[in-house]
Amino acid sequence: MKLIRFEDGQGARWGRLDGQTIEVTAGMGGEPSGETVNLEQVRLLPPAEPSKIVCVGRNYLDHIKEMGNDQGDLPREPGLFLKAANALTISGGEVMYPEWSENFHFEGELALVIAQRAKNLTPVEVPAAVLGYTCALDLTARDKQQSDLQWFRAKAADNFCPLGPTLETQFDPTDVQLLTRVNGEIRQDGRTSHMIFDVVQILMYVTRYVTLERGDVVLTGTPAGVGALERGDELEVEIDGLDVLHTRIV
């Protein structure tokens, strides 16, 4: 089932997407209200309402190597950092190249949205804690990531997390292909089975320390192939079984 968040003059609302028809629901993941609207008559919003966005860094070995961090051993635990809700932006939208960066990078990722408050999750509890999956871009000012003490500017600036366009509730993240294209050229081609820490391990680890709230977003890391962006670049993140995320750099 595809969930969609949209705005149509009545504020931000949620629905179930069936072709071009949106069945309006009572909030995120709620039951249909009986009202329907046409997809072409609404403005898409990111399919999440997070208090925080938790990101996993260096979760694919090939990406660790390309970043010059290969020490011969795999990480023993997930490396986490945060984005805030200000970083969210829509699929199909535009992101302005930051005037304060000279090395702006893309990182295509699988993302998930939390269904209910989650703390100290066990493996059995993880599936019910996930509302659905979607595509994401972890946009990064690489020069500021390298120069700053913390990654606040580099990772959490406005619009640095395009997300969407829809949320798929019936999805198996175990082994699917992830592609990132820049101007139609494949730049990243990985599989989620190559993650060092899978979704279950990530959510167990995160919720050991931090309570995840309903609507929070978790990004699961990026495969090799990240690189610099230029103004005018067209980006696509495509993951098997999910709708394609589109973003333009302006």
110 and 150 share a domain?
Answer: yes
**Domain match, 160 and 183 both:** yes
Please tell me whether residues 41 and 156 are part of one structural domain. Answer: no
Kindly report the CATH number assigned to the domain that includes residue 218.
3.90.850.10
Clarify whether residues 64 and 24 are in a common domain.
no
pLDDT in tens, 84-125: 999 999 999 999 999 999 999 999 999 999 999 999 999 999
**How many distinct structural domains can be found in the chain?**
2
Residues 38 and 116 in one domain: no
Instruction: Tell whether 74 and 20 lie within a shared domain.
Output: no
212 and 89 in one domain? yes
Q: What is the pTM of this model?
A: 0.96
Outline where the chain has alpha helix (H): 61-66, 126-129, 142-147, 152-156, 199-209
φ and ψ of 62, to 5 deg: -65, -30
CATH number at residue 23: 2.30.30.370
Q: Do 8 and 123 share a domain, yes or no? A: no
User: How far is C-alpha 26 from the geometric centre of its chain's CA atoms?
Assistant: 24
Q: Residue 16 sits in which domain range?
A: 1-45
Both 2 and 68 in one domain: the answer is no
Encode pLDDT of 44-92 as tens digits.
999 999 999 999 999 998 878 887 765 556 889 999 999 999 999 999 9
pLDDT in tens, 141-184: 999 999 999 999 999 999 999 999 999 999 999 999 999 999 99
Give the residue from 6, 108, 103, 17 showing the smallest Cα distance to 48. 6
